[in-house]
Chains A and B, each alone.
Chain A
Amino acid sequence: MPKITYIENNGKSHTVEVDKGLTVMEGAVQNNISGIDADCGGSMACATCHVYVKEEWYNKINEKSEGEDDMLDQAHNPNKFSRLSCQISVTDEIDGLVVDLPEKQ
């Protein structure tokens, strides 16, 4: 099972196994990782599952969905490595992915 590391804004790191086919958002929610709210439940309507993908991983994950950038405009403190974690699919290729969580959603 692919491992994903979520690093909270306070530096606390969580490495968890996430089933293939889920999203990085679901991986966090199922493992009770705080820092990802996912208010809309993954329908790309709220920008509360915002993460910063580590630079070395940014080009290895699936590309942004149509409209994802529009939602990221509303996220808290976005930068060029910002993604909505509900739009990142978990596959074998992203085993080892590291994402930083923002100060708040």
Chain B
Amino acid sequence: MIKTDALIIGAGPTGLFTAHQLNIIGLKCEVVDNLDKIGGQCIELYPDKPIYDIPAVPECTGEELTNNLINQLKPFDVNFHLNERVEEVKNENGHWYVKTNNETVFSTPNVIIAGGVGSFEPRKFTPKECEQYEGKSIFYSIKDKNIFKDKIVSIFGGGDSALDWAVELSANSNVNLIHRRDEFRGAQSTLDKVYELEKEGKINLFTKYQLKIPKGKGKLDSIDIQHENKEIKNLKTDYVLGFFGLIMQLGPIANWGLNLNKKTIEVDTEKFETNQKGIYAVGDICSYPGKLKLILSGFHEGALAARACFKLARPNEKYRFEFTTSSSSILKRLGKKSD
């Protein structure tokens, strides 16, 4: 079990700056994120898109902003738990016990939810019948590619993941690549390779088709795919892979007894605390009258939530407001020499 002053859920810009603010005032924190990398939406949705409304930064991309925020955290010892999703939260004697899907357990007086619009989850196939095969013969990510050896694998999607896996698996498997239209959005070089492999008979390409229904008792043995013009084809298959990108879901947070407003969490504007003492929400996921979904608002909210955490993390100390320009204790935390 990891004991910490505050646990931050979400490693997007707001979560990162909140970690900075906690450390500036001398509190330790841990950060959990469901993605495999730091940066949240900035890195997952728009790494290359320019942002123009970060104070004092006339223009930067989502990736640059993320890198700068990570650099700003360098003086501090912040642990990141990536690829982990927070599942359970319970209160015992005023402390929050938080468990992730990876069985990591935290004990902390403060939980700061900086979850954006929720955690990123893979988008799934439309037919409900797919659920019964999920994790057995239908997958949305690949953990062990060896299971596909000498099998028939049907891959759906038009982006890099679908194309890359089609090329890679075609070496040892019989691959069907199925996409809802003629154009692919993946890299041209990979696409050229796919067309080459199609000519060699190593990949069977089906465009303008979507999955209609998976078939097979207990074990998947074929799929029906439907053309845009409604024509249906049956393909024998052992495995189905779907690569349709990610969607943000509120996930287990919805069951924590917090006051929700659509997909956002209601907070006060003094501490950014939810209706549960010691649980705060900052950034895009929080709502209050006048809420602006801007990164700069998240920074402000995180700074205030961090100060609120102090009281619960250091009940016997008094919080003292100090500036980074002049405080010798802050400069020490930053590893700088004071004049």
Interface, chain A (partner B; CB < 8 A): 37, 39-41, 43, 45-48, 69-70, 73-74, 76-80, 103, 105
B172 to chain A, nearest CB (A): 27
Q: Which 9 A-B pairs have the closest CB atoms?
A: A74-B245, A70-B185, A77-B126, A45-B45, A39-B117, A73-B158, A74-B244, A39-B248, A45-B46
By a CB distance below 8 angstroms, the chain A residues around B41 are 40, 45
Report A-chain residues with C-beta under 8 Å of the C-beta of B245.
47, 73-74
A47-B245, A76-B123 known; A69 vs B183 contact (CB < 8 Å)? yes
Residues 145-187 (chain B) with a chain A CB within 8 angstroms = 157-159, 179-181, 183, 185
Contact residues of B with A, CB < 8 Å?
Answer: 41, 45-46, 49, 117, 123, 126, 157-159, 179-181, 183, 185, 210, 228, 244-245, 247-248, 263, 293
A73 near B185: Cβ-Cβ < 8 Å: yes
- Inter-chain contact A80/B183, CB cutoff 8 Å: no
**Known: A39-B248, A41-B293, A70-B185. Contact between A78 and B46, CB under 8 A?**
no
CB proximity of A6 to chain B, nearest CB, Å = 16
- Give the dominant DSSP class at A's interface: loop
Q: Which of A45, A73, A74 contacts B181 (CB 8 A)?
A: A73
**Is B247 touching A46 in the complex (CB atoms < 8 A)?**
yes
Whether A74 touches B126, Cβ cut-off 8 Å, given contacts A39-B117, A40-B41, A43-B46, is no
Q: State A105–B248 Cα separation when bound (angstroms).
A: 10
Residues of A within 8 A of B210 (CB): 77-78
Q: Choose from A39, A43, A74 the contact partner of B123 (Cβ within 8 Å).
A: A74
Given contacts A73-B244, A76-B126, 10 further A-B contacts (CB under 8 A): A37-B263, A41-B293, A43-B46, A46-B247, A48-B247, A70-B159, A70-B185, A74-B244, A76-B123, A78-B210
Name the B residues within 8 Å of A48 (CB-CB): 247-248
